[in-house]
Amino acid sequence: MLSYEDFLTKTGFTEKQLQTLSTNTKDLISFEKPYPIEIRKSSIHGKGIFTTKSIKPGQTVCSARIKNMRTSGGRYINHSGNPNVFLKQQSSNFYFVALTEIESGSELTANYFENLKLIRRVNMNEEQLIALGNDSENLLKNEGFIRVINLMMDSSVQNWAQSEYEDTTKREQSYSHFKALSDVIATLNQNVTVRDQINDKNDKESTPTEEE
């Protein structure tokens, strides 16, 4: 399970830098409409976002960014390696969408790694996205890389299967490790798909029509 500390280590941010980004109010904007959430003290870190009613999987919980401005949703969401919402882009805006059934009064958590990857991808130009897709495809074709991923996934499944039913901590950790590895492969495949879509679009644009 990737923790808040893991995020800091892997991204190179210090906690002070992340706090500075979070507390910066120059890019803040009010919610564009009411959402069933409230902001209060979090047991994870500082303040957090809590639901005021139950949320179903796939439901939009609140906005995170409106164009280039953050809402309180984007400011106060806390990180978890086992999140209950994910970031989804709609046009130039970003929203948090429920991954699972979320009970009223629960704190919303997102995976900072996935959020950062999505935002970075949105800010890339076509040439960068094509290069990212090529790199991803090379990794997916690397037998050594795939072998290691498969071994780690098998190990996670075995740890889950061999754990006691009552040992929820071990079972949740095993599942989180398996899901994190699955997400790595899914992200690589998504990068390749985006590259292929760009290449197809460019091919169509460069192909003369019959009228031409």
| Per-residue confidence (pLDDT) for residue 106, from 0 to 100 | 96
Residues 81 and 192: their CA atoms lie apart, in Å, by 25
Domains in the chain (CATH in brackets) are 4-111 (2.170.270.10), 126-206 (no CATH)
Element spanning 69, H or E: strand 69-70
Residues 210 and 212: their CA atoms lie apart, in Å, by 5
| Per-residue confidence (pLDDT) for residue 50, from 0 to 100 | 97
Q: HEC string of 121-145? A: HHCCCHHHHHHHHHHHHHHHCCHHH
Contact yes or no for 107/47 (Cβ under 8 A): no
Residues 199 and 206: their CA atoms lie apart, in Å, by 10
DSSP single-letter state for residue 91: T
Radius of gyration of the chain (CA): 20
Residues 50 and 102: their CA atoms lie apart, in Å, by 10
| Per-residue confidence (pLDDT) for residue 209, from 0 to 100 | 57
Q: Which residues contact 157 (CB under 8 A, 6 or more apart)?
A: 174, 178
Residues lower than pLDDT 50 in the chain: 1-2, 4, 7-8, 10-13, 18, 21-22, 212
- In angstroms, how far is CA 180 from the centroid of its own chain? 11
Residues 97 and 136: their CA atoms lie apart, in Å, by 26
- Enumerate the H helices of 12-80 as residue ranges: 15-23, 72-76
Q: Largest Cα–Cα distance in the chain?
A: 70
| Per-residue confidence (pLDDT) for residue 180, from 0 to 100 | 75
